[in-house]
Homo-oligomer: A and B are copies of this chain.
Amino acid sequence: MARQSKSKGRTLTSKGRQRRSQILSYATVRFASDGYHPTSVADIVGGLGVGKGVFYWYFESKEQLFLEILRDAQKDLRRYQRDSIADLTDPIERIEAGIRAGVIWMADNPELRRLFEFARSEDTFARSMKVGEATLISDAAEHLRIAIDAGRIPCRDPEALAHGIFGVTNQLTMAYIDHGDGDPAEVADLVVSICRNGFAGLSDQLTGDSNSADVIVNPAWSRTV
């Protein structure tokens, strides 16, 4: 009589929904602090003080649990970024706001950042990660393309630029927030500044309102091309 053979599609009461998300969030913390493989299902249910059957009542497997954590996290990041740029129309403002949102989200969710990093490194989960990453990248690339078409930034491969932004965001967040104690808003400024100008471009500390055009960097490096 149409019974699901697996935990998928179980009818949950409010107590059940509560338990499910309790497992989800506790597992997230453990996976992030000890690693996915070293954290056993026994560790999870043990830490929660419940029997092992509880785990398998709510989740098909440890792997499915992890994939769900990843999916939820990617969705949350994307929604946060979308909301943060929602009322901006200028493409460059949108790009910058997106970068800032990315940094802030990662600062707010360091466990999830770590999980992303692990997931990228193992084949089993890399596929799932690539989907979400590709979406992030192509969203950013689209804004970059618009800005290029409008002549607001120089012509370059928007996808490559988007990857660059992604890489800078990741690395600086990791260095200054995860492994340091930087203020997220300041780190976001730093990321925006680096993404915008690179190391040889104009520094925005130098761009005043009138004299920005005067600040000319010795362009000797152009000989090295």
Contacts and interface: CB of A to CB of B under 8 A. Distances in A.
Contacts of A175: 137, 163
A164 B44 CA distance: 37
A170 B172 contact: no
A221 B117 contact: no
Contacts of A103: none
A220 B194 CA distance: 18
Contact of A154 (B95, B169, B215, B222): B215
Nearest to A187: B160
B37 A37 contact: yes
A196 interface: yes
Question: Which 6 pairs from chain A and chain B are nearest by CB?
Answer: A167-B171, A201-B201, A37-B37, A154-B203, A198-B198, A167-B167
23 contacts: A34-B123, A35-B121, A38-B122, A90-B224, A92-B200, A92-B220, A93-B224, A95-B199, A96-B221, A144-B199, A151-B218, A152-B220, A154-B217, A155-B205, A161-B194, A163-B172, A166-B171, A167-B167, A167-B169, A170-B170, A195-B198, A201-B201, A212-B219
Given A114-B121, A121-B121, A153-B217, 18 more contacts: A90-B224, A92-B224, A93-B224, A117-B117, A118-B121, A151-B218, A152-B217, A152-B220, A154-B197, A156-B194, A156-B205, A160-B172, A160-B190, A160-B194, A167-B167, A167-B171, A196-B200, A204-B222
